[in-house]
A and B are shown apart, each in its own frame.
Chain A
């Protein structure tokens, strides 16, 4: 059997939905106060492959003028022979306008990367559940799961007009990925069963990923926000060099192999860089280098490290609407640097930003709604699918204090902490009642959800039961303030909650949790830290409990960093355990908790399984996770993280509701290139 998905015609694309997908798409119905608000719209979006290739192509007026002046080839030669045909949400739009947006600094690259998401090889549709074509017009997974073949579009061009083809993949693989100076260590995405895979060219428009073991998960990895599948904009910026392809014709001049090390170093020195490596990292970064050829709808004009990060349309963009108009409709994107989040929100409310969902604060919703008519914008609430926007990530390998370490490693202790949290109060205070309280398991509509009872297990307020569990652990002695004492030295037992003020005001959340824990006699000590310093502590696993979202875990295999110790860049559950997992046991220490081991083994086994089986395994993992309370969920499925969308009323083709999720590259899956200014 060959699992072939080529998406060549729009009909086949529609038929390619995975079995679990429709369940998700249909079941995302909002409940409670969210529905009464009238702010949660219908989940909808543009459809790539949503029509046959039009016979004739049209273009933006400015580009037509450049063509007339002989500065640009005609649109037929710029658009590939097999373009991506996108059916917009409402109608085909008209050209023009500048999209005003705000960003908060050079570290906010994702702000722009996400609107460039159509440079990914494969992507998800607007529901976030179905793989659709993107840069690749289709893919084929072999029956044994060991090879994945990608089919590229004939006649596709880079932003500078140079052909884009299989050689750009070979260049990335051989000259960047395998170059130790650029990518020091191979990535897990490119290996199956512990053996590294290969990327080979079959012909001009066909490339193949070959693995020694079955890797049925790989197409999803290509579609997901992973190192291999993330796309050029996000995975070749900020010092990364992944994403499977790169503009060979442009980047060769910066590599020693194509001249000499002395020559590129001299070039680097002349340009003010310490070495050719430093220069290369800047030259391949679309956020920094306006000259870099890209595939996305816009290209950088003024880079991210200036007060205004601006972009203009890519005249060689590979997508058209159903009438043959080359996308994008919007001429320019201008992102203004705002020094803080309050300024972003004020600007948005003053109508100075046209579409902004990033850095918009849910807590300000009443004020945002109040100023709707004055700022001439609509407010849409997009609900997430992950279990909890605020999750207590418990360090399973805390070695700083054996007594605390042992308690954190005890399931009943974690269960008691979880049952000591009044989630309804948190929901009301921090989410304005818009969230769903429960465990860290993904939304019930998700294919990986283990069942409704697992959203509730150990995850509702039950002070009596929590106290009973804690008494059962021998923590019966209390001090005069009613806090439980440590069994070893009779001092108060202190559990630290490390929290960072980031997408939400997590230190405040932690403060409230600490207040709730008074009733179960646990002294929660809130430690607010700056983000960099907090993550530094995580790398050393020098924390008790870290408060952060578990966003992304709704598709566990594509993003497990906030669920299990699989990510060596994060020691949130114990860095030694993560090393042990990532190195297949060669480094680090093996977790002692049998349930944790079971979850990790299940996780490891899944990559080689077909989708239905994978989902089943994910459900089993979640059952363990929830039962063991490795991560303690509070409230989620809310619009808190990038889900409060303020859209100017002048904009057209804006979906009523979009999928906000890591793999959907919010707002990427609602295809910003199809938005347009009505007036």
Chain B
């Protein structure tokens, strides 16, 4: 096996470094070479930054409704005044409903410029127990109907950008919490199944088969319909997460079990066994690292699947429900004919969904390749 590596190595010194490097170092070296994965990693990190700073990045109260701002098309922030001076502002808008077409027509009031301040005060929110009014951007002395609507507004006149920020937090954490639970269940049960074999294996495998043989939608429907109606938004949020992850662990368990079984036959495991290594050592020192790549690949696939699950559940009206805000709920708002025809910017919520899923996949891909010790 080493001859194989050495044959590929261009210089002896480098090969020596390779041979002496730890698994982690090897992974990192290889990962750095995978540019797309690196970029994706940065994108994912950015998304989690947004998730943490959602309220700070929001410009308007994401729940505040106003009929005067219903269905406003995305409005730019102007950075320069007409005289060329740098003074960021948005223009005042005036909306009138056309009595013939019933569409809301907004006209820009050229004389009214509402200044945009950096690190200014806006609506009040709590973050990590601190109550503050500080936002990245905010309007100075806004009148009713004024706002920074860079992604437009929805039917109830709520700012899409601000809602998107808060939704990002909710949807990303659902994915993260969910995948953690699935990973735990998957590795645990998959490992037990492979190691102990016999009736334990049979019971676990049957359970997996039963769960996977059921179309998930009815399972979700049944479980979500069983959630007590008077639960708080938070309770529903965690229940949905658990429901999704309870059904998602089976994939991971299968991968883990399958790899355990096939590795058991491999020479290096046999060698370790003959050398008198303990079962625990064989598993964690020899077997687990060798199929880490597969777990990472499975997790990278499971995470976006979780996010899609949440949006799908919301689509069927069984996921989170308003006033909670998530990507799924924003997309639910965008799914009517009138939204598609009159307010296509509501589809903006699809962009982060697509972006984050792509990023997670490329990241997982890069990690997978990198973690492969023979690569």
User: Could you tell me which A residues sit within 8 Å of B by CB distance?
Assistant: 33, 36-38, 342, 345-346, 349, 361, 363-367, 369-370, 424-429, 432-433, 480, 496, 501, 507-508, 511-512, 514-515, 526-530, 533, 537
Q: Which residues of the partner chain B approach A526 to less than 8 Å between Cβ atoms?
A: 321-323
Whether B229 pairs with A529 at a CB distance below 8 angstroms is yes
**Interface of chain A, main secondary structure:** helix
CB B349 to nearest CB in A, in angstroms, measures 17
Q: A507-B322, A515-B65 are in contact. Are A527 and B338 (CB under 8 A)?
A: no
Q: How far is the CB of B5 from chain A (nearest CB, A)?
A: 58
**6 A-B pairs closest in CB distance:** A36-B99, A428-B67, A425-B67, A429-B67, A367-B341, A515-B65
Residues from chain B with a CB closer than 8 A to the CB of A432 are 97, 102
Report the separation of the CA atoms of residues A36 and B99 in the bound assembly, to the nearest whole angstrom: 6
The docked-state distance in angstroms from the alpha carbon of A424 to that of B144 is 15
Min CB gap B61→A, angstroms? 9
Of all chain B residues, the one with the shortest Cβ separation from A429 is: B67
Q: Are B155 and A527 in contact (CB under 8 A)?
A: no
Minimum C-beta distance from A30 to chain B (A): 12
Q: Would you call B156 and A511 a contact (CB within 8 A)?
A: yes
How far is the CB of B342 from the nearest CB of chain A, in Å?
A: 6
17 contacts between A and B (CB under 8 A): A37-B99, A361-B336, A363-B155, A363-B338, A364-B336, A364-B337, A364-B338, A365-B102, A369-B101, A370-B341, A425-B65, A429-B156, A511-B322, A512-B156, A530-B225, A533-B225, A533-B229
Give min CB distance, A368 to chain B, whole Å.
9
CB of B97 within 8 A of CB of A433, answer yes
Q: Which residues of A contact B336 (CB under 8 A)?
A: 342, 361, 363-364
Q: Is the pair B225, A366 in contact by a Cβ cutoff of 8 Å?
A: no
A501 with B229: CB separation less than 8 A:
no
* Closest residue of B by beta carbon distance from A537: B229
A126 to chain B, nearest CB (A): 26
A interface footprint on B40-73 (CB within 8 Å = 1, 0 otherwise): 0000000000000000000000011111101000
One of A37, A346, A425 near B66 (C-beta < 8 A): A425
Q: Is B157 in contact with chain A by the CB < 8 A criterion?
A: yes
Which residue of A has the minimal Cβ distance to B155? Answer: A429
A37 and B97 alpha carbons, distance in the complex (Å): 11
How many Å lie between the Cα of A230 and that of B155 in the bound state? 39
Query: Chain B interface mostly helix, strand, loop or mixed?
Result: loop
A370–B68 alpha-carbon span in the complex (Å)? 23
Q: Once the chains bind, are B65 and A527 in contact (CB under 8 Å)?
A: no
Report the separation of the CA atoms of residues A526 and B329 in the bound assembly, to the nearest whole angstrom: 15
A508 vs B154: C-alpha distance in the bound complex, in angstroms?
A: 12
* A367 and B97 contact, Cβ closer than 8 Å, known pairs A501-B317, A507-B322: no
**Which chain B residues lie closer than 8 Å to A426 at the CB level?**
67
How far is B156's CA from A425's CA once the two chains are assembled, in angstroms?
A: 9
Q: A375 to B97, alpha carbons, bound, how many Å?
A: 24
Q: Is the CB of B342 within 8 A of A367?
A: yes
Among B64, B68, B131, B156, the most chain A Cβ lie within 10 Å of the Cβ of B156
On chain B, the number of residues with a Cβ less than 8 Å from chain A's Cβ atoms is: 30
Q: How far is the CA of A612 from the CA of B65 in the complex (A)?
A: 45
Query: Is the CB–CB distance between B338 and A367 below 8 Å?
Result: yes
Most buried by A among B155, B323, B335: B323
The answer to the question of B230 belonging to the interface, with a C-beta cut-off of 8 Å to chain A, is: yes
- Measured between beta carbons, the chain A residues less than 8 angstroms from B17 are none
Contact with A along B244-274 (1 / 0, CB 8 A): 0000000000000000000000000000000
| A366 in contact with B102 (CB, 8 Å) | yes
B99 near A514 (CB under 8 angstroms)? no
Q: Separation in Å of the A535 CB from the closest CB of chain B?
A: 12
Does chain A have a CB within 8 A of B103?
yes
Is B8 engaged at the interface, CB distance under 8 Å to the other chain?
Answer: no
B321 engages A528 (CB within 8 Å):
yes
Q: Is the CB of A429 within 8 A of B323?
A: no
Q: Nearest Cβ in chain A — how far from B40, in angstroms?
A: 35
State whether B323 touches A370 (Cβ < 8 A).
no
**Which among B63, B68, B322 has the greatest number of chain A C-beta atoms within 10 A?**
B322
A508 to B329, CA, bound (A): 12
- B8-20 interface mask toward A, CB cutoff 8 Å, 1 = contact, 0 = none? 0000000000000
Given A342-B336, A345-B337, A363-B338, A511 and B70 contact (CB-CB distance below 8 Å): no
Among B63, B229, B336, the one with the most A-chain Cβ atoms within 10 Å of its Cβ is B229
Contact between A342 and B337, CB atoms less than 8 A apart: yes
Interface string of B85-125 (1 = CB under 8 A from A): 00000000000010111110000000000000000000000
A370 to B101, Cβ gap below 8 A? yes
Q: How many Å from the CB of A109 to the closest CB on chain B?
A: 23
The one of B65, B101, B155, B317 that contacts A366, using a Cβ cutoff of 8 Å:
B101
Q: Assuming A38-B100, A342-B335, A367-B342, what are 4 further A-B pairs, CB within 8 angstroms?
A: A37-B100, A429-B67, A429-B70, A514-B323
Which residues of B, 123-162, contact A by the 8 Å Cβ criterion?
131, 155-157
Q: Which A residue's beta carbon lies closest to that of B63? A: A515
Assuming the contacts A363-B336, A533-B225, asked whether A527 and B230 have C-beta atoms less than 8 A apart, the reply is yes
Minimum distance in angstroms from B30 CB to a CB of chain A: 48
Partner among A508, A514, A537 whose Cβ is within 8 Å of the Cβ of B155: A508
| Chain B proximity of A491: nearest CB distance (Å) | 13
- Point out the residues of chain A lying under 8 angstroms from B323, CB to CB: 511, 514, 526
Bound CA span A370–B99, Å: 13
A433 to B95, CA, bound (A): 13
Q: Enumerate chain A residues within 8 angstroms of B97, measured Cβ to Cβ.
A: 33, 428, 432-433
- CB-CB under 8 A from A363, the residues of chain B are 155, 336, 338
For B335, the chain A residues whose CB sits under 8 A away are 342
Q: Shortest beta-carbon distance, A297 to chain B, in Å?
A: 32
**CB-CB nearest in chain A for B103:** A366
Chain A contacts for B338, CB-based, 8 A: 361, 363-364, 366-367
B67–A530 contact, CB under 8 A?
no
Chain B residues contacting A369 (CB-CB under 8 Å) are 100-102
Chain B residues lying within 8 Å of A36, measured Cβ to Cβ, are: 99-100
Whether the pair A515, B64 counts as a contact (CB closer than 8 A) is: yes
Q: Which residue of chain A is the closest to B340 with respect to CB atoms?
A: A367
| Contact, CB under 8 Å: A528 / B317 | yes
Q: In the complex, what distance in Å separates the CA atom of A432 from the CA atom of B103?
A: 8
**Given A367-B342, A370-B101, A526-B322, A429 and B157 touching (CB < 8 A)?**
yes
* Closest-CB distance, A3 to chain B (whole angstroms): 46
What residues of chain B lie closer than 8 Å to A345, measured between beta carbons? 337
Chain A nearest CB, measured from B211 CB (Å): 25
Give the distance in Å from the alpha carbon of A537 to the alpha carbon of B229 in the complex: 10
A428 contacts across to B, CB distance below 8 A: 67-68, 70, 97
Chain A residues with Cβ below 8 Å from B342 are 366-367
**Which residue of chain A has the shortest Cβ distance to B157 in the bound complex?**
A429
Contact A530 B317 (CB under 8 A): yes
- Alpha-carbon distance A106/B100, docked complex (angstroms): 37
Closest Cβ–Cβ distance, residue B154 to chain A (whole Å)? 10
Please give the distance in Å from B314's CB to the nearest CB on chain A: 11
Give A529 to B342 CA distance when docked, in angstroms: 28
Shortest distance between the CB of B11 and any CB in chain A (Å) = 64
Q: How far is the CA of A599 from the CA of B243 in the complex (A)?
A: 48
In angstroms, how far is the closest chain B Cβ from the Cβ of A340?
Answer: 10
Residues on the B chain within 8 Å of A527, using CB: 229-230
- Inside 8 A of B131's CB, which chain A residues have their CB? 480
Instruction: Point out the residues of chain A lying under 8 angstroms from B230, CB to CB.
Output: 496, 527
Beyond A501-B317, A511-B156, whether A528 also contacts B322 by CB under 8 A is yes
Q: Which of A424, A429, A537 has the most CB of B within 10 A?
A: A429
A342 to B334, CA, bound (A): 12
What residues of chain B lie closer than 8 Å to A349, measured between beta carbons? 337
Q: Which residue of B lies closest to A543 (CB)?
A: B229
Docked CA distance A173–B118 (Å): 79
Distance of A416 from chain B, by nearest CB (Å): 20
Residues of B within 8 A of A429 (CB): 65, 67, 70, 155-157
